[in-house]
Amino acid sequence: MAHIKLLIWACCLALSTSFAYGLGVNWGTQAAQTLPPSTIVQMLKDNKIDKVKLFDSDHWTVKYFAGTGIEVMLGIPNNQLAKFADDYDFAKEWVKNNVSTHLYNGGVDIKFVAVGNEPFLKSYNGSFLKSTFPALQNVQKALNSAGLGDKIKATIPQNADVYESGNSGPSQGDFRSDIRDLMQKNCSFFKDNNTPFLVNIYPFLSLHENKHFPIEFAFFDGQTKAVRDNGISYTNMFHANLDTLVVSLKKASCSGVKIIVGEIGWPTDGDLYGNVTLAKRFYSGFFKKMATKKGTPLYPGFIEYYLFSLTDESEKSILPGSFERHWGHF
Ligand SMILES: *[C@@H]1O[C@H](CO)[C@@H](O)[C@H](O)[C@H]1NC(C)=O
Ligand SMILES: *[C@@H]1O[C@H](CO)[C@@H](O)[C@H](O)[C@H]1NC(C)=O
Ligand SMILES: *[C@@H]1O[C@H](CO)[C@@H](O)[C@H](O)[C@H]1NC(C)=O
Ligand SMILES: *[C@@H]1O[C@H](CO)[C@@H](O)[C@H](O)[C@H]1NC(C)=O
């Protein structure tokens, strides 16, 4: 952990002298002991992290970001999606009580509302397929009606397995077959509202889930033989994964939508591949990549990233593995 802390500090200190980098971090609070928000705010400032992604919109946390210059992404949990989908008046009330209330002069710089969290994960058995897009539409409509639509965008944090390319490369990418129709029919929302597509990408999980995954491909230090796809060389899984999304969006007639990486990280314990050495290797390559401000072969522009995560969370479900409690930088 100490290594990583130092790494972030060194990275951001070096960058902060010339420009604000725009590094974000997720702050989840499923922990027995959580740091007071005022301490969190100070930690973010000390480390030149200027965006925070939350998983709820708890007043107690949100209000501490007032006047800090830190951009905030509020969250709406999956179990509330149906309510937001069915009841526009509820969405309006929610915006009034949980968004507008923070927007006084010197208030909180709210930029996004994350509607649900990875609602199309296969393990949810389709429970949120019906409610997610209608909820998204109602939240954006309520933001628009409060006069906030240009400044605050509602979007959906998606897990990277909403798209796939089978055994082929990124050029064969498409949305997962069970949600392809849904994505194709609803993709125009992103274009029409100038909404970014938020995606969580974890090379660690590829390694964790597949014993045959070529480990070198999870990192950014090019110690792997490049894989060629449609004339493009890939030396890391992140590029290949994000480009699969680019192709999938194109197939859904949704090219040109901005992509933001809502979660990226590596755990420091709790798995064969979850340790400080590998986490350090991952972040070290990732930060160097980030500093180039270059995206991927098919998405060459600047990408915003939110690291996962700020602190370890001692009460997260360990159903996927005990690594779930060890994502914290601090
Ligand atoms: C958010 O809005 C809802 C609906 O208006 C309200 O019931 C709830 O108390 C608000 N949440 C917080 C944390 O204030
Ligand atoms: C999804 O289905 C599986 C198998 O039927 C079941 O074990 C699991 O509890 C279900 N999960 C949810 C979130 O409904
Ligand atoms: C979203 O997809 C669903 C299912 O295909 C469809 O019924 C609905 O009309 C779509 N919504 C929009 C806004 O296109
Ligand atoms: C970290 O994990 C890798 C892969 O399992 C292993 O080779 C290495 O020895 C581990 N390092 C430490 C310090 O545990």
- How long is the chain? 330
Mutate to test the pocket of ligand 2, among 120, 125, 319 (most ligand atoms within 8 A of CB): 125
pLDDT digits (tens, 9 = 90+) for 129-175: 999 999 999 999 999 999 999 999 999 999 999 999 988 999 999 99
Residue 263 among the catalytic residues? yes
Pocket (CB within 6 angstroms of ligand 1): 57-59, 93-94, 97-98
Mutate to test the pocket of ligand 4, among 1, 278, 323 (most ligand atoms within 8 A of CB): 278
Ligand 2 atom 2, closest CA: 125
Q: Which ligand is nearest to the CA of 207?
A: 4
Q: What is the 3-state secondary structure (H, E, C) of the chain?
A: CHHHHHHHHHHHHHHHCCCCCCEEEEECCCCCCCCCHHHHHHHHHHCCCCEEEECCCCHHHHHHHCCCCCEEEEEECHHHHHHHHHCHHHHHHHHHHHCHHHCCCCCCEEEEEEECCCCCCHHHCCCCCCCHHHHHHHHHHHHHHCCCCCCCEEECEEEHHHEECCCCCHHHCEECHHHHHHHHHHCHHHHHCCCCEEEECCHHHHHHHCCCCCHHHHCCCCCCCCEEECCEEECCHHHHHHHHHHHHHHHCCCCCCCEEEEEECCCCCCECCECHHHHHHHHHHHHHHHHCCCCECCECCCCCEEECCCCCCCCCCCCCCHHHHCCCCC
pLDDT at 11: 44
What is the C-alpha to C-alpha distance for residues 311 and 27, in angstroms, rounded to an integer?
7
Mutate to test the pocket of ligand 1, among 94, 102, 143 (most ligand atoms within 8 A of CB): 94
- Annotated catalytic residue within 71, 93, 118, 216: 118
What is the percent of the chain with per-residue pLDDT over 70, rounded to a whole number?
Answer: 94
Atom index in ligand 1 nearest the CA of residue 60 equals 13
Contact assessment for residue 290 and residue 305, using Cβ atoms and an 8 Å cutoff: yes
Q: Which ligand is nearest to the CA of 271?
A: 4
Q: Which residues contact 21 (CB under 8 A, 6 or more apart)?
A: 12, 15, 48, 50, 290
What is the C-alpha to C-alpha distance for residues 80 and 84, in angstroms, rounded to an integer?
6
Atom index in ligand 2 nearest the CA of residue 124 equals 13
Q: Which ligand is nearest to the CA of 133?
A: 3
Ligand 4 atom 8, closest CA: 277
Contact assessment for residue 99 and residue 144, using Cβ atoms and an 8 Å cutoff: no
- Annotated catalytic residue within 93, 164, 216, 263: 263
- For 196, 199, 235, 325, the CA distances from 156, given in Å and listed in that order, are 9, 8, 29, 23
pLDDT < 50 regions, the chain:
1-20
**Per-domain boundaries in the chain:** 2-325
pLDDT at 5: 45
Pocket (CB within 6 angstroms of ligand 3): 133, 181-182, 185-186
What is the C-alpha to C-alpha distance for residues 135 and 132, in angstroms, rounded to an integer?
5
Cβ-count burial of 247 within 10 angstroms (0-12 exposed, 13-18 middle, 19+ buried)? buried
- CATH code that applies to domain 2-325: 3.20.20.80
